[in-house]
Each structure stands twice: as structure tokens, then as C-alpha cells.
Amino acid sequence: MTRKLSLTVEGKNVAVYVHKGDLPADASFVGPVAVDCEAMGLALGRDRLCLVQISDGGDAVHLVQIAKETPAPRLQAVLADPDTLKILHFARFDLALMRHQLGVMAAPVYCTKIASRLARTYTDRHGLKDVVKELLGRDVSKDQQSSDWGADQLSDSQVAYAAADVVHLHALREKLNAILEREGRMTLAQACFDFLPARAELDVAGWPEIDIFAHS
């Protein structure tokens, strides 16, 4: 069952499709995809993955409501595709969450939060709302961030919030890459992105707060 809503982002009409359980068979994506997740909380292993949002930067956003202990093979195939770059904000948590529940490691990956930390060293404000506001001049509402994402029927406000979290990521990546290239930090950023799947695997395996590179 699929539900469809329409949103207007920067004057552009975006169709938002809400799917139960998995992507439909006819869903297709071109180029890098922006990905985000919503969960019941922030404790890996306790709080389940409830929603995965995907957009290729076009005029459609797909939201997949994840069923408990049920695979989503078409979604999993997109996430695991080695030829499709996944763009996320604070990718570490979402990668671990999807690895834990869906059994797939999304890679290759680009993290706009890591990119922001390496590029925007003049500030300590690296949340999605702050980065989008400064670099894109757009306001992102966080009113629905703490809500019941496990509900069988998501509210229109939840759907709008979830879609907004991915529609800006392609443009954000372009802006951040320009700064990283200008400051000579693109190679370092790429090395960090390449390590993210391993960092997420460490989180899943029980090393979330331990610095394995530390002397003691």
C-alpha cells in the first residue's frame, strides 16, 4: 500500500510516496541518493528502525515504513549497491541502525555532518538545520524530530518532516565540496567517508564509545 502527498520545496513541487514494508518494484533512482532514517529512539539495539527516506534529488521522495523483523529486499539492494553513492547527515548512526536491523551496510557513503565539521571550522553548529540555513538559506523544521515513528499511520507533519530531511542533501553536498576543495581537505574528507562503514560496524559490534586508536 502506497500513500502519496505533495510538498513544495523552494518553489518546486515534490511528490512524497509512503510505502509499507519495502520500495515498490517500479521505484528507480538515478545517480547519488540522499538517505535518512527515523527510529523509536537513539539507542542502537533497543530502539528499532521505523522509516527510511530516499531521494535522488529529483521530483520524488520515497519513504519506506520498516516492518518489525521483516526484510525489505528492494530497499536493501539500493542501500548495498556499490555504484550508488549514499548521502546522509550523521551517517554513522544511520549506517549502524540499518546494518543492525536490515543486515545491510550502505556504501559508498558521503556524510554531510563530517563534511561540515571539516569545512566549516569557524562554527560548532553542524546540525542539519544550521548547515542548511547557512549554506542554502533554507529553513528546516525539527518539530517532528521526537515523535512516534513506529505508528502505523504517520501524520502529514511527520511525512513532511521526514521528506525535508533528504531533499536538501544533494545541494548541501555541492556547497560543502566547494569549501573542502578550496581548503584542501577533500582527500581527508573522503578518507573519513571511506572509514564510516567500519565505524558503524564497530558500533554494532559493541565498541560505540571506545576509541580503539587510543594508547590506553
pLDDT of residue 209: 87
The answer to whether the pTM exceeds 0.85 is: yes
SS3 55: strand
pLDDT of residue 146: 73
SS3 2: strand
> Domains in the chain, ordered, with CATH?
2-205 (3.30.420.10)
pLDDT of residue 142: 65
What is the phi/psi pair of residue 91, to 5°? -60, -30
Using a CB cutoff of 8 Å and minimum separation of 24, what contacts does 77-80 make? 78/23, 78/29, 78/33, 78/54, 79/35, 79/104, 79/105, 79/106, 80/104, 80/105, 80/106, 80/107
The pLDDT profile of the chain, 216 residues, written as one tens digit per residue, is: 688 888 776 567 889 999 999 999 999 999 999 999 999 999 998 999 999 999 999 999 999 999 887 889 999 999 999 999 999 999 999 999 999 999 999 999 999 999 999 999 999 999 999 999 999 998 887 665 678 999 999 998 899 899 988 999 999 999 999 999 999 999 999 999 999 999 999 999 999 888 888 888
Distance CA 112, CA 164 (A): 15
> C-alpha 113: how far from its chain's center?
11
Q: Provide the β-strand partners of residue 8.
A: 13
pLDDT of residue 11: 65
The number of helix segments (H) and strand segments (E) in the chain equals: 7, 7
Taking all residues of the chain, what is their mean pLDDT, rounded to a whole number? 93
- Evaluate the CA torsion angle 73, 40, 195, 114 in order and state its sign: positive
